[in-house]
Chain A
């Protein structure tokens, strides 16, 4: 009798193990579904266009962009374009995300502030590289969905806040870098205040679906300089003379 029960138990355990293995495998197979797209995105849209910051490239290969887009747009997650996420906002084109990340020259020690969480994708990309990411989103619905998503996906070093990003996040200032994803006609003075000495701030200028240029702000003592950056796939419009 014991032998029979024992056999039954073994079969049960084996079945359970097999099911678990199959389940885990199918889940990873599901995750793996976009790995190829992700690799292709990084190779063709980012590396081929001259972005070669290793940490940025690795992060872009790791973060599952498909988890940050609306369900009906998953198949387009790795397209070379921004996508709408509702409330008049977008998840930026992968190239722009990579460019902005590389432009701040991220380091593992960095504490970065992001203004405009949106889908949370940029924050997730940063979190793979830097020590802490603080991200602010003014639209409550977007804040709720982004913070839940980031938490669910395990980005524990991303702290979210639902607030007006104009005022930055004084509590955790100063920051090594600030990424402003929401277009602003001027740079809010509180953000300049909260940028560390030697720190970098990056702001995209332009409409998300159209041509964007990027402004890099650097703080050295009392001096603040701005540089209007060209995404490298834009060849400068230099003419003879």
Chain B
């Protein structure tokens, strides 16, 4: 192999390793920030940090010739610095000077500067890593296909690697471990003649990395997270801690933990819990010791009434968590209890290491644990049940809209329809929620059930649904057949005994609804009656009510998203402008993130134009072409993640598999593109085929996935590869071909174009989420095709 080829190979390997480290670091950062802050703040911080890619393109544009002149020494330096910052960033962000608590932003805006500093701290590793990749792309643009392959392949491996490594490394060590990969990438390409000059830098970087690996420091959780608050209670301590891709699990022992949603005020005993499980610092569930007297309180909760109205032999629990609902099922002498829980790490703990603390309820003969997403289980199983139980929605005290962006496939209209189809004749679905104010969750559950019934030909939902409330919780029972008189009497008697009030019951009278638990705002009952009244009345309510209470669907599976922009002024009038943002913090943060990154992206795009000139060259073509590619690719990635999450029944592995498969396939596409001539008509042809494949996906993908969901995992993996790989292969070609084409015309615009692609990729992730929430995933797919169409048309113009 001649020298030049050997050099290119070494550079490719280096690009692969820096790419592995960048993606793995990104995932580990999401993991860490979700633990110490809340997920949406993690999302915001990382979105801004990822602009490091675009900023690198801008930087190279502005200092191109100087950087290319010193590329041999700069490349390893950038990679080493990237590695160094990866290792340091977490510790620095946790230091007294920089540490901020996102919760305090609610009241103390002076913390904003700490947030900005945090952005910068996490921006630097991505910036320097991207600088090295960008410089290589610019210098060796004629071999862009090879280097882009290395970049994509490395990124794909990085995603898989990060998910695997999360099982073995605690979060604070993971980011440091990953930084060694970045450092290795730099070490690999230190020019022989500069080795002695580099020896000090190398020694320093390695020493710091080793030190930080041995002493990573502790992660400081927000003092307002459930775990922090629980650890403040006397005698509380963490008895077990485990890391997994599902999050950081902490098991806490404390005699002061109280958790009994929907408990009657008439319960005379003591609720004793000793242990609780937290995931990423958030409450996950209590470990309820299964001793007869300690679990008697279950019979005093609103959740118990579905057990009273009929014998429950075969029970399905969707979202079994730590097993609280399993205990109710055991106490009712169920023959089989299918406990579906997506978090494999928690179930594994409860069946093994914590079996004692959980009284081995998961190991009982009648309990059948299933580690799969609840919705996927429903799609796969032909079994029927006497009771299908969902977990309590939301958290006590509200989650301040922090679930607004979370896809909740178990709470869509289609999900309820599938659940109803899985019931025996006398079976019920049961679901509870906290009664929030302003009223939202109970109304949305009811509208979802009512519309689901209507779609199935059931026009009188009030005959098939019962709901009872106490002072803070409401529990619904949804049947396949109408409630009979005996069942109605049982429910009324239960309410009388427990100081509960029926809210929905066939033949209910107005004064029954508030015998024991009054609401000052009685519009709650009016709103319920309007939902039950008729489709026309329901539609009218949807448009009048300031919050979105329309059912979530599989296309827009955002049950907890309630805010309507059009109602902001009315809400401000009622609640004061200080309160409004706090209804839907997650949703507001999403838009705030979008605004921040668009503004920054515009700055990064515009800055180089001061040097490159505003009018000359192929700038308009480059802007449209590369932004279209960036948007199209990321939108497709998000659609595939969404579709295959349900298919595989596990969001973590589905996302890792889909992203890695796409990146690796695109990498091979890029490699093959190296053999092709970079011509506009070639770009047109390839993009045209991509658009056709996307249209085929739009039409057939859902059907294909639904049909094959029952297959075994190996077959599903093969099928997924066949579905994704060909399109992704093609999608890997336009970018390197476009860069080569641009370099033939305006070489100095290459870094700018690369930066644009990077910036729009980051913007696209946030934009796709916004579009999915506002319009649905179908529109994300349509707009993805539209983005590729833009890139196609701009090349037709060029031919």
User: A interface vs B, CB < 8 Å?
Assistant: 76, 79-84, 86-88, 138-140, 164, 166, 183-189, 192, 205-207, 209-211, 213, 215, 217, 224-230, 233-239, 241
Interface residues of B in 452-497 (CB under 8 A from A): 470-472
Least distance between A194 CB and chain B CB atoms (Å)? 13
Point out the residues of chain B lying under 8 angstroms from A76, CB to CB. 108
B576 within 8 A of A: yes
Ordered by A's residue number, 9 sampled pairs between the chains whose C-beta atoms are within 8 Å are: A84-B223, A138-B234, A185-B472, A186-B262, A207-B398, A210-B106, A215-B471, A234-B521, A241-B530
Is the CB–CB distance between A187 and B265 below 8 Å? Answer: yes
Q: Which residue of A lies closest to B546 (CB)?
A: A237
Is the CB–CB distance between B259 and A185 below 8 Å? Answer: yes
Instruction: Tell me how many residue pairs across A and B have CB atoms closer than 8 Å.
Output: 146
Q: Which residue of A lies closest to B101 (CB)?
A: A84
Q: Known interface pairs A210-B582, A239-B527. Does A226 touch B265 (Cβ–Cβ under 8 Å)?
A: yes
Interface centre among A184, A192, A226 (most CB of B within 10 A): A226
Proximity bits, B511-522, A CB within 8 Å = 1, else 0? 000001111111
Q: Known interface pairs A81-B107, A227-B518. Does A205 touch B234 (Cβ–Cβ under 8 Å)?
A: no
Is the CB–CB distance between A184 and B103 below 8 Å? Answer: no
B534 within 8 A of A: no
Is the CB–CB distance between B229 and A138 below 8 Å? Answer: no
Interface centre among B104, B232, B261, B439 (most CB of A within 10 A): B232
Interface centre among A79, A183, A188, A228 (most CB of B within 10 A): A228
Proximity bits, B219-236, A CB within 8 Å = 1, else 0? 000011100110011100
Interface centre among A81, A183, A210, A241 (most CB of B within 10 A): A210
A81 CA to B470 CA, complexed, in Å:
29
How many B residues touch the partner, as a band?
35 or more
Is the CB–CB distance between A209 and B437 below 8 Å? Answer: no
Is the CB–CB distance between B517 and A88 below 8 Å? Answer: no
Least distance between B286 CB and chain A CB atoms (Å)? 11
B107 in complex: contacting residue of A82, A88, A217, A233, CB < 8 Å: A82
Is the CB–CB distance between A237 and B472 below 8 Å? Answer: no
A238 in complex: contacting residue of B223, B229, B234, B523, CB < 8 Å: B523
B660 within 8 A of A: no
B30 within 8 A of A: no
Point out the residues of chain B lying under 8 angstroms from A88, CB to CB. 223-225, 228-229, 232
A234 in complex: contacting residue of B270, B545, B575, CB < 8 Å: B575
B195 within 8 A of A: no
A14 CA to B205 CA, complexed, in Å:
72
Q: Which residue of B lies closest to A226 (CB)?
A: B471
Is the CB–CB distance between B258 and A211 below 8 Å? Answer: no
A233 CA to B575 CA, complexed, in Å:
7
A218 CA to B724 CA, complexed, in Å:
62
Q: Which residue of A lies closest to B301 (CB)?
A: A186
Point out the residues of chain B lying under 8 angstroms from A209, CB to CB. 103, 106-107, 582
Is the CB–CB distance between B265 and A192 below 8 Å? Answer: yes
Q: Which residue of B lies closest to A210 (CB)?
A: B582
Interface residues of B in 267-286 (CB under 8 A from A): 267-271
Point out the residues of chain B lying under 8 angstroms from A230, CB to CB. 437, 520-521
Is the CB–CB distance between B104 and A84 below 8 Å? Answer: yes
A166 CA to B271 CA, complexed, in Å:
10
Interface centre among B229, B266, B268, B471 (most CB of A within 10 A): B471
Is the CB–CB distance between A239 and B107 below 8 Å? Answer: no
B115 within 8 A of A: no
Least distance between A125 CB and chain B CB atoms (Å)? 21
Point out the residues of chain A lying under 8 angstroms from B258, CB to CB. 166, 184-186, 188
A228 CA to B397 CA, complexed, in Å:
14
B199 within 8 A of A: no
B510 within 8 A of A: no
Interface centre among A139, A209, A217 (most CB of B within 10 A): A209
Q: Secondary structure at chain A's binding surface: helix, strand, loop or mixed? A: loop
A97 CA to B519 CA, complexed, in Å:
21
Is the CB–CB distance between A211 and B579 below 8 Å? Answer: yes
Interface residues of B in 99-152 (CB under 8 A from A): 103-104, 106-108
A234 CA to B578 CA, complexed, in Å:
13
Q: Which residue of B lies closest to A230 (CB)?
A: B520
> Given known contacts A189-B268, A239-B530, what 13 new A-B pairs fall within 8 Å (CB)?
A87-B232, A164-B234, A184-B258, A186-B258, A189-B267, A189-B270, A207-B398, A209-B106, A211-B398, A227-B519, A228-B471, A237-B523, A239-B526
Is the CB–CB distance between B521 and A238 below 8 Å? Answer: yes
Interface residues of B in 436-457 (CB under 8 A from A): 437-439
Is the CB–CB distance between A183 and B521 below 8 Å? Answer: no
Least distance between A165 CB and chain B CB atoms (Å)? 10
Is the CB–CB distance between B579 and A185 below 8 Å? Answer: no
Point out the residues of chain A lying under 8 angstroms from B472, CB to CB. 185, 205, 215, 228
Is the CB–CB distance between A186 and B520 below 8 Å? Answer: no
Q: Known interface pairs A189-B267, A207-B400. Does A87 touch B578 (Cβ–Cβ under 8 Å)?
A: no
Q: Known interface pairs A138-B233, A186-B263. Does A237 touch B518 (Cβ–Cβ under 8 Å)?
A: no
Is the CB–CB distance between A238 and B396 below 8 Å? Answer: no
Is the CB–CB distance between A225 and B520 below 8 Å? Answer: no
Q: Which residue of B lies closest to A188 (CB)?
A: B258
Is the CB–CB distance between A206 and B397 below 8 Å? Answer: yes
A225 CA to B470 CA, complexed, in Å:
10
Point out the residues of chain B lying under 8 angstroms from A210, CB to CB. 106, 398, 400, 579, 582
Is the CB–CB distance between B518 and A80 below 8 Å? Answer: no
A226 CA to B472 CA, complexed, in Å:
10
A185 CA to B438 CA, complexed, in Å:
18
B405 within 8 A of A: no
B689 within 8 A of A: no
B773 within 8 A of A: no
Least distance between B497 CB and chain A CB atoms (Å)? 12
A215 CA to B471 CA, complexed, in Å:
8
Least distance between A195 CB and chain B CB atoms (Å)? 11
Q: Which residue of B lies closest to A140 (CB)?
A: B234
Point out the residues of chain B lying under 8 angstroms from A217, CB to CB. 265, 471
B594 within 8 A of A: no
Is the CB–CB distance between A139 and B233 below 8 Å? Answer: yes
Point out the residues of chain B lying under 8 angstroms from A225, CB to CB. 499, 516-518
Q: Which residue of A lies closest to B537 (CB)?
A: A241
Is the CB–CB distance between A235 and B574 below 8 Å? Answer: yes
Is the CB–CB distance between A213 and B499 below 8 Å? Answer: no
